[in-house]
Structure 1
């Protein structure tokens, strides 16, 4: 188990033009944004190329776009910021960005069509290789919550089975590794992977494939609606997802990256965003093996841009004109407090056993979702002052597994009143 302080970063949303800034790339504007991010004391950013702009044809990966990505990474290095790159965008803030060679007249399944997957692999390999010699390059994330394309509620999904989804993930992570050997390459899903029965991307995929487990914690998924903005389940949702993810990990101390978490209005009103931010981060850091926390997002979306869901406009730690918001000041203070000191949360000795059916495909994940029996039992235990871990029911009597994780007591949801 690591005693090093966790990483603190932000998902970089450009203050000018949002992610459309790739169309009119302005390195000076990027530098100004990165200055404001570095001013918060953060140590890394997560960056989002738009896939159709970088690979507009299956056999054309635009050299100029790749060069601009490298320029952004170099500008980050000058400000002490490391860079993780999400390749397949994919999906951002309710908008889909898919190249024309996968849609309409060229409609092909993005997870199973051999030509599409080959093109994706070459794209990810190319981006990784372009950054492989940069010391501040953390590694690649395959894409942003790309699991949302695999089934409902997406309006035009690319269906895939869990087996094929696992094959797709491994193929594309291998391509990242070929491009930049030895870096931290991973994949990241939105919470359907943990909460939605029958979803093709599974907890086992998340916790067993890639260098670290990524979780994206958003309380607009029913958590804040049921429990309120100061409810235990709301303020501990990120910590819950971290602990839930560990149940499926094959290594007892596999790192977990809280790669996306934010304070969505109106469920978290702007005047309470700082309070929610502090509680969420503090509770997440009470979990062992946290690689880092990466807040969503750096800068607000400009009101000049139309058709975003209302909550998306105000999620930044900084305003659209780079002024620090109260949540940004909270993050900066937390970074100062945590950085440089020994970080070793106490082991969670009491575990709650989760049963989602088959451990590989987890057909009964709804129990883990807000309102589900397991979710609510975990929240009740936490509200009573316990610090529960999570263990698969199939391992609840495995003394070697429990000992490796420091677990001395196992409860089941029906034990929690």
Structure 2
């Protein structure tokens, strides 16, 4: 579960209340879920380029400890950054002090130091999954122009800093980064599929049904929507150099009106079951725990209804559906056999939108899936590599007509 505090949304970090957090976490654990992803706010953690507030770091550590009490593991996102249509920048990056957060050397080093500090503070927590650079950092390119090479340098620098911060942690702690769907589907977007699939300890995907207007284009319970998370996992595998690299479906949810409330339980069940058929799936993390209270202004409409619990803390029908589905998967894991048939993806950075909703490749893959075929994805550059195909268990190739 991606944890969104019920009272005050992420503004609750201004006056963090452990009792409120404990109540929220108990509700999440009560659904049978086993982990959360949490987000502090960058301006509160690092209000000056050379000041990281110890009190704010302590709040984050306390939340991780509260999650442990509830039986939940935790992934911590470091630089927020972007959350639910709002961007949170410290003032030292803005207006008279504007710095490009991706390219300014001092801004990069400040973010690196924040990740080192967070890693050191959390390294000994037994329920820590790991440290992620931040939530969908590629949303910030709108105001911070950057090239592919500069993104690669930025990610490499911050990933190294996070690893340094976690250097004393027990083995197995993850260091990751995340991007929204433009990294996979956006023509010439500076965050690339290769960066997502090759940097960090695993690949994260955020297959949202509003990307490319998917749900409105095909219908809320269409094969294209119900298999979207599964497709995102298989697409991510194609760009990885390590054929055993895990993929984490880290954000998926049922935003109204794209997914009407009446369809949300079926959507949730199908999304999790279909994704669980992917070999190498690390996990699924639903967005999100609690609705945004309508007393808070100026959110896009869909943000107010994404929770499994409403803003009063009452579970919605989708919560029961997800809990039942999780229990089903745990009781009888679905087979995740290698997929021996692959649809060949032949695109360039300038044409990668063919693999997104509405694109010719996307529609061809979904047509195969609707016919009962379980295809994976292979890049055209790998089709003559017999060792690579064998390692992935691919025996048949289909070229997109």
TM-score scaled by structure 2? 0.97
- Where does residue 273 of structure 2 map in the other structure? 282
- Of structures 1 and 2, the one scoring higher in RCO (CA 8 A, sep 6+) is 1
Alpha-carbon distance in 1 for matches of 2:25, 2:9:
14
Alpha-carbon distance in 2 for matches of 1:145, 1:348:
29
| 1:140-161 CA-partner distances (Å, limit 9, x unpaired) | 11111111112xxx3xx21111
- Where does residue 397 of structure 1 map in the other structure? 384
- Where does residue 363 of structure 1 map in the other structure? 350
Offset at 1:327? 1.0
1:158 is the counterpart of 2:152: no
| 1:69-128 CA-partner distances (Å, limit 9, x unpaired) | 111000100111011011111111111101111111111110110100000000011111
Question: What residue ranges of structure 2 are gaps of 5+ in the alignment?
Answer: none
- CA RMSD for the aligned pairs? 1.0
Offset at 1:323? 1.6
Alpha-carbon distance in 1 for matches of 2:399, 2:45:
49
Alpha-carbon distance in 2 for matches of 1:118, 1:352:
42
Alpha-carbon distance in 2 for matches of 1:217, 1:356:
20
Offset at 1:282? 0.9
1:40 is the counterpart of 2:31: yes
| 1:304-343 CA-partner distances (Å, limit 9, x unpaired) | 1111111101111111222211111111111211225555
Query: Of residues 336, 361, 386 in structure 2, which corresponds to 1:374?
Result: 361
Question: What residue ranges of structure 1 are gaps of 5+ in the alignment?
Answer: 1-9
TM-score scaled by structure 1? 0.93
When structure 1 is superposed on structure 2, of 348-357 and 209-218 the one drifting more is 348-357
Offset at 1:353? 0.7
1:338 is the counterpart of 2:324: no
2:9–2:292 Cα contact (<8 Å) kept: yes
- Where does residue 174 of structure 1 map in the other structure? 160
Alpha-carbon distance in 1 for matches of 2:371, 2:400:
14
1:383 is the counterpart of 2:344: no
SS at match of 1:217: coil
Alpha-carbon distance in 1 for matches of 2:279, 2:311:
35
Query: Of residues 249, 262, 267 in structure 2, which corresponds to 1:271?
Result: 262
Alpha-carbon distance in 1 for matches of 2:244, 2:350:
25
Query: Of residues 190, 206, 209 in structure 2, which corresponds to 1:219?
Result: 209
When structure 1 is superposed on structure 2, of 340-349 and 93-102 the one drifting more is 340-349
SS at match of 1:71: helix
Alpha-carbon distance in 2 for matches of 1:286, 1:210:
24
List 4+ stretches of structure 1 deviating above 6 A.
Answer: none
Alpha-carbon distance in 2 for matches of 1:115, 1:170:
15
Alpha-carbon distance in 1 for matches of 2:335, 2:116:
36
SS at match of 1:58: coil
Query: Of residues 82, 88, 92 in structure 2, which corresponds to 1:97?
Result: 88
Alpha-carbon distance in 1 for matches of 2:321, 2:120:
36
Aligned length: 396
